[in-house]
Amino acid sequence: MAIENKPGVEFDTVFSRNDSLELSSHHDYENVQARIFKIIVIGDSNVGKTCLTYRFCGGTFLKNPEATIGVDFRERTLELGGECIKLQIWDTAGQERFRKSMVEHYYRSVHAVIFVYDVTSLPSFESIPEWIEECSRHSVGPLVPRIMVGNKCDLRDRREVPASAAQCLADSYNFPLFETSAKDPAEKEHVDAIFLTIAYRLKSHKPLRLKQLSESSSRHLWNQREQEAAACQC
């Protein structure tokens, strides 16, 4: 599910029926020029960064993943509005010992950042400000989109992070918030939507159009002006 960020303002992510998530077969892969965007996925160990990125790039739930050492690269090419976009996803290590020599590389020339926590782990949520702070220390520009993702929503009985608390934190940074599950097949399209939201933002390379809506009809909310203004915190 996507969670409201600010009432009355919609993050104008409308996926056209003509957009496909993959390059269609009539394309000659060799000759297609794709713009490449680097997206890093950051958060505590065990929150499901590898499973989320695998779900998006591989289409299935990765059983028995091992802790990521350094970084794993995944990519997926999309056709959006007639343009080829390649998302190069850096699945980073959450464990300090597996990431410390890599941190500079994570943040260099990054185009978007996804902060992940586990809704069944309060400590992983409480770490989010530290991850945002690390991002800030590495001079990631204010126009670089950031989003927050709460993973493992399928574990309903074990939830420790209320959606309201997560929304509050996301609002304080003016980040969009998504809650999802890499494991639940019913959430597959929602995982896609997280990355597509970023892809559209990167593709346009310009401020999003803000559409005033009634509170009840608002979904995928992201106040871009406030997001950019507040991004100096991150």
Q: Which of Mg ion, ligand GTP, none binds 197 (CB below 5-8 Å, type-dependent)?
A: none
Q: Which of ligand GTP, Mg ion, none binds 51 (CB below 5-8 Å, type-dependent)?
A: ligand GTP
Kindly identify the residues of this chain, within the stretch 172-201, that bind ligand GTP according to CB under 6 A: 181-183
Closest separation between CB of residue 60 and ligand GTP, Å?
A: 12
Under the criterion CB under 5 A, does residue 92 sit at the interface with Mg ion? no
Q: Bin 134: left if φ > 0, else alpha if -120 < ψ < 50, else beta.
A: alpha
Under the criterion CB under 5 A, does residue 181 sit at the interface with Mg ion? no
Contact between 186 and 175 (Cβ < 8 Å): no
* Rounded Cα–Cα distance for residues 148 and 121 (Å): 15
Residue pointed to by tokens 């400590």: 123
User: Side chain identity at 174, as an amino acid letter?
Assistant: N
Under the criterion CB under 6 A, does residue 68 sit at the interface with ligand GTP? yes
Residue pointed to by tokens 């933002």: 201
Q: Which of Mg ion, ligand GTP, none binds 233 (CB below 5-8 Å, type-dependent)?
A: none
Q: Which of ligand GTP, Mg ion, none binds 227 (CB below 5-8 Å, type-dependent)?
A: none
Token code pair at residue 7: 């009432």
Handedness of CA 221, 4, 75, 232 (dihedral sign): positive
First to last CA, the chain: 25
Q: Which of 15, 23, 65, 103 binds ligand GTP (CB under 6 A)?
A: 65
Under the criterion CB under 5 A, does residue 124 sit at the interface with Mg ion? no
Is the CB of 51 or the CB of 119 nearer to Mg ion? 51
Strand-pair category, 9-11 with 83-92: unpaired
> Pick from 117, 127, 118: which is nearest to 154 by CA?
118
Q: Which of ligand GTP, Mg ion, none binds 88 (CB below 5-8 Å, type-dependent)?
A: none
Under the criterion CB under 6 A, does residue 67 sit at the interface with ligand GTP? yes
Q: Which of 50, 127, 151, 180 binds Mg ion (CB under 5 A)?
A: 50
Phi, psi dihedral angles at 218 (to 5 degrees): -80, 130
Kindly identify the residues of this chain, within the stretch 33-52, that bind ligand GTP according to CB under 6 A: 45-51
What residues make contact with ligand GTP under the rule CB under 6 A? 45-51, 65, 67-68, 93-95, 151-152, 154-155, 181-183
